[in-house]
Amino acid sequence: MKILQLGKKNLDVSHPVVMGILNVTPDSFYDGGHYETETAIIGRIHQIVEEGAGIIDIGAYSTRPGAAMVDKKEELARLAPAVELVRKYYPSVPVSIDTFRSEVAREIYHCLGEVIVNDISGGTMDTEMFGFIAETRLPYVMMHIQGTPQTMQKNPVYRDVTKEVYRFFEERTDLLRAAGMENIILDPGFGFGKTLDHNYELMNHLDLFQELGYPLLVGISRKSMISRLLETTPAEALNGTTVLNTIALMKGAAILRVHDVKEAVETVKIVERLLF
């Protein structure tokens, strides 16, 4: 499916789209605490759009390994004002909300309109999420995770990570399709309950997930799968991010979720020149 329905709008992912990250959290692994004031949030929104992103993804609950729990009230208090600011300055730009809670997604939907729901748990951390998605038909990013953000990196084990993530997507998309929902995006969940080897095995076989028939989202921006391998830090991982984003595009990624929008947009332009 290359055209997603966002309310009355179509979101075309037949050509790769860049999703710019706006973290309104104090503790995200790379840019936590950078965008907590309205002025800083507005500046980041302008930067994301001006550098060419097609989607803004807003996160109000850090899901880095070992992150502290955040209650629903606090998540909404961070998330809603940021969504409102995007609506104010760029009403036509699609907004994605990074939440695994159906109540948070429902509140944003009822108060602020159609959004993409980016769920790190693929519906496993809130049993009401699939019902909400089926009811509203909002575009839904189904990510794979083993465990929770608090436990996922303690000792992730797979017999075959690619087969197990593939099977997870088959089973979970079947549930949504049974409810009449096709507005789905798949995210293998790099860094979410995976070792370094698991992450690179998934990247090496990313093209296999195209067989499922849904757009693929890849989010590897400045993650530890880069900084650990290169023995560097997230702040120094832009070059590695660009390399992996290029590989992901060559293997069929439709959406790149990134901190560095300008560089990702340039990557898309070059790869499109080769592939399209």
Show me where the domains of the chain are located.
Answer: 3-275
User: Which of 106, 172, 223, 228 does the annotation list as catalytic?
Assistant: 223
Output the CATH code of domain 3-275: 3.20.20.20
* pLDDT at residue 96 greater than cutoff 80: yes
Residue predicted with more confidence, 23 or 150: 23
Contacts of 1 (CB under 8 A, 6+ apart): 182, 183, 184, 213, 214, 215
pLDDT at position 36: 77
35: confidence class by pLDDT, cuts 50, 70, 90: confident
Residue predicted with more confidence, 188 or 60: 188
Cα–Cα dist 72/83, whole Å = 16
* pLDDT at residue 28 greater than cutoff 80: no
pLDDT at position 152: 58
> How high is the mean pLDDT of the chain?
91
- CA distances to 25, 138, 142, 168, 192 from 129, rounded to whole Å, are 23, 11, 11, 16, 19
Residue predicted with more confidence, 33 or 210: 210
Question: Is 269 noted as a catalytic residue in this protein?
Answer: no
33-44 average pLDDT score: 86
pTM of structure: 0.93
- What is the 3-class SS of the chain, one letter each residue? CCEEEECCEEEECCCCEEEEEEECCCCCCCCCCCCCCHHHHHHHHHHHHHCCCCEEEEECCCCCCCCCCCCHHHHHHHHHHHHHHHHHHCCCCCEEEECCCHHHHHHHHHHHCCCEEEECCCCCCCCCHHHHHHHHCCCEEEECCCCCCCCCCCCCCCCCHHHHHHHHHHHHHHHHHHCCCCCEEEECCCCCCCCHHHHHHHHHCHHHHHHHCCCEEECCCCCHHHHHHHCCCHHHCHHHHHHHHHHHHHCCCCEEEECCHHHHHHHHHHHHHHHC
115-131 residue pLDDT tens: 999 999 999 999 999 99
pLDDT at position 65: 64
Question: Is 223 noted as a catalytic residue in this protein?
Answer: yes
* pLDDT at residue 61 greater than cutoff 90: no
* pLDDT at residue 242 greater than cutoff 70: yes
User: Which of 154, 257, 262, 269 does the annotation list as catalytic?
Assistant: 257
* pLDDT at residue 153 greater than cutoff 70: no
